[in-house]
Every structure is written in C-alpha cells, then in structure tokens.
Amino acid sequence: MGTSGFARVLVRAILFALWLPVAVLVVSLLRFGFEGMVTMDAMSFVQLVILGWPSGIPLTLAVLLLHRRVQLPAYVCAIVLAPLSVLAFILGGLFGPFVLVYVVVVSLPAWVALGIVALLQSRRS
C-alpha cells in the first residue's frame, strides 16, 4: 500500500470514526428514552463528539486496514469489538478521564489480527 493509499484509509478512518459517538447516543436513547435526550445540553453533546470521535479511530483504522487484506476477519472484528468499544467508552466516562485508553485496549485484538494476517501474507509471497 502506497503513501496515498494509506492516506485515503486514514481519512476514511477519521470520517468513519463518528460511529462511536452515534452509537453512544443510540445507547443513551435506548436507556433513557427521548425525554432523557432532550435534557442533554449542547455542551454534553460537544464533549461527546470531542471525546468519542477520536476514540473511534483506532478500531476503525484497524478494521479498514484488515478489510483491505481479508474481509471476513474484518467483519468479525467489527461485529464483536464495536459493541465492546461502546461499552468501554461509556464505562471509561464513568471511571475517569482516560476514555481513549479503554477504547484502545478494546481495539487491540483487531490490531493483533491485522499483524497475524500481514505476517501470514508476507510469508506466502
């Protein structure tokens, strides 16, 4: 993958990373209902986007890079790790200021899968 190919994947990862704040909003809507969402002020929403958007980048980037190599493990990683990332983000917000650390730890299996696939593919060539 050339430099421009990686740049395209990185831009897509940054844009696609909005799934995490959207998922947290959906969980909040399911948990508290529409009345609870109405009471959410603009500052809370801005903080959610500021913290949630970068927190979604590690898993999104790992899944996109894995998808370029093999599709099925990428889908499995996304399906299994995305809900865990949402849970880690919510619990990280409750336990302390290091929300990104919790989400990065949850995304590690996708990075390990990417490394294993890259290693296996490099041995074949």
Distance CA 57, CA 50 (A): 12
Coil, helix or strand at residue 125: coil
Distance CA 53, CA 56 (A): 5
89, 99 in Cβ contact below 8 A? yes
pLDDT confidence of residue 2? 62
pLDDT digits (tens, 9 = 90+) for 41-59: 777 788 888 888 899 999 9
- Count other Cβ atoms within 10 Å, centred on residue 12: 13
Report, as an integer, the average pLDDT of 28-47: 77
* Reduced DSSP (H G I as helix, E B as strand, rest coil) percent helix, strand, coil of the chain, to 5: 90, 0, 10
pTM score, two decimals? 0.86
pLDDT digits (tens, 9 = 90+) for 66-98: 999 999 999 999 999 999 999 999 888 888 778
Report, as an integer, the average pLDDT of 23-35: 85
pLDDT confidence of residue 98? 82
